[in-house]
Amino acid sequence: MSTKTEVSLIVEKNWCKGCGICVAFCPKNVLEIKNGKVNIRDLEACIQCGQCELRCPDFAIYLGGK
């Protein structure tokens, strides 16, 4: 069941350098590093705070959609 249909969390895997910054500062533990790249492990937990997008040095994760 998803109530978060308006905005989605998008990853540009080719640009991700696996630094782990987004993983470390996500307040809801949504993200992980898998095979050297970011991976969304628990989308349901995402509160769309945008902190991952704010601090990703590679513009590789962001809230988008609509």
Letters for 6-45 (x = contact with ligand SF4 by CB under 6 A, - = none) are: ---x------xxxxxxx---xxx-xx------x-------
Q: Which residue has the tokens 């991952």?
A: 52
The DSSP annotation for 1-66 comes to --S--SEEEEE-TTT-----HHHHH-TT--EEEETTEEEES-GGG-----HHHHH-TTS-EEEEE-
Q: Give the contact letters, 6-45, x = binds to another protein (CB under 8 A), - = no.
A: ----x-x-xx-xxxxx--xx--------------------
Judged by the rule CB under 8 A, the positions of this chain that interact with another protein are 10, 12, 14-15, 17-21, 24-25, 53-60, 62, 64
